[in-house]
Copies of this chain bind each other. A is one copy, B any other.
Amino acid sequence: MSRIDGRTPDQLRPITIERNWSKHAEGSVLVSFGDTKVFCTASVTEGVPRWRKGSGEGWVTAEYSMLPRATNTRGDRESVRGKIGGRTHEISRLIGRSLRAVVDCKALGENTIVLDCDVLQADGGTRTAAITGAYVALADAIAWAQGKKLVKAGRKPLIGTVSAVSVGIVDGVPLLDLCYEEDVRAETDMNVVCTGDGRFVEVQGTAEATPFDRAELNALLDLAAAGCDQLAEIQRTALEATR
């Protein structure tokens, strides 16, 4: 079986990570997974939210949003509707949790890093692209904070790497990194967030049509783990390039 864009089942879309896309942010990345393009900025501020003050620990959080015309038909702006939808909330929380899994908040000290992930163009996998790109922006922001001595000398707030990919079962076949058309047709859809050393941070599998069994779950996890391995390599390459 050949996929809609000619990929093999275990093949990622073309992935690009462009750093330093903004002159203002402490870290900024334009990440693309095929036609999905997400602009990720990392903003560092001294101090932490009220509930964390005095703890000596930092905080990392994320906000995800889609431009109104990132999709095929224009959606209402959430700022105009006056409230944030459930999906937006859910994805923002997922990104924040995923990144915090590789941050040592004690080492970060009482600093806050906010990751803004704005989807400029959507073609499936926006949350996984956001996590993968945001990690790189976060790494740049932490390096900046270290350079500015906001982080105490010798402390290493970044304790691992993290990336994410979607997998799903389409017409009975487990596929890696679904594009929008595949995503719509998937019987089961799963987002997997892995660390660079191959462990899981998040596993979110959903049966869209029919429930899935343990064998299918295992096949999807295999695919995802291999995909995240490749993404970790791409992140490393991007970060090794001179800034």
Interface residues of A (CB under 8 A from B): 22-25, 28, 35, 39, 41, 43, 45, 63, 65, 67-74, 77-80, 82-90, 92-93, 97, 101, 114, 116, 118, 120-123, 160, 190, 194-195, 197-207, 210-214, 217, 221, 225
Inter-chain contacts of A23 with B (CB < 8 A): 35, 121, 123
Check A24–B69 contact: CB distance below 8 A. yes
Check B207–A211 contact: CB distance below 8 A. no
- Known pairs A72-B24, A80-B84; A199 contacts B212 (CB<8 A): yes
Find the residue from A80, A85, A87 having the highest chain B CB count within 10 A: A80
- Known pairs A43-B74, A205-B200; A84 contacts B93 (CB<8 A): no
Check B24–A71 contact: CB distance below 8 A. yes
Inter-chain contacts of A67 with B (CB < 8 A): 39, 41, 116, 118
A161 and B121 CA atoms in complex are apart in Å by: 28
A63 and B81 CA atoms in complex are apart in Å by: 13
Q: Which 7 A-B pairs have the closest CB atoms?
A: A86-B89, A199-B211, A78-B79, A43-B74, A79-B79, A41-B69, A203-B205
Inter-chain contacts of A45 with B (CB < 8 A): 73-74
- Interface pairs (10), CB distance under 8 Å: A24-B122, A25-B69, A41-B69, A67-B118, A77-B79, A80-B84, A199-B211, A202-B205, A214-B221, A214-B225
Across the interface, name the chain B residue whose C-beta is closest to A217: B200
Say how far A155's CB is from chain B's closest CB, in angstroms. Answer: 19
Across the interface, name the chain B residue whose C-beta is closest to A118: B67
Say how far A32's CB is from chain B's closest CB, in angstroms. Answer: 12
Inter-chain contacts of A79 with B (CB < 8 A): 65, 77-79, 83-84, 88
Inter-chain contacts of A197 with B (CB < 8 A): 211
Say how far A181's CB is from chain B's closest CB, in angstroms. Answer: 13
Across the interface, name the chain B residue whose C-beta is closest to A198: B213
Inter-chain contacts of A204 with B (CB < 8 A): 202-205
Inter-chain contacts of A194 with B (CB < 8 A): 211
Inter-chain contacts of A85 with B (CB < 8 A): 89
A234 and B12 CA atoms in complex are apart in Å by: 39
Across the interface, name the chain B residue whose C-beta is closest to A39: B120
Across the interface, name the chain B residue whose C-beta is closest to A206: B202
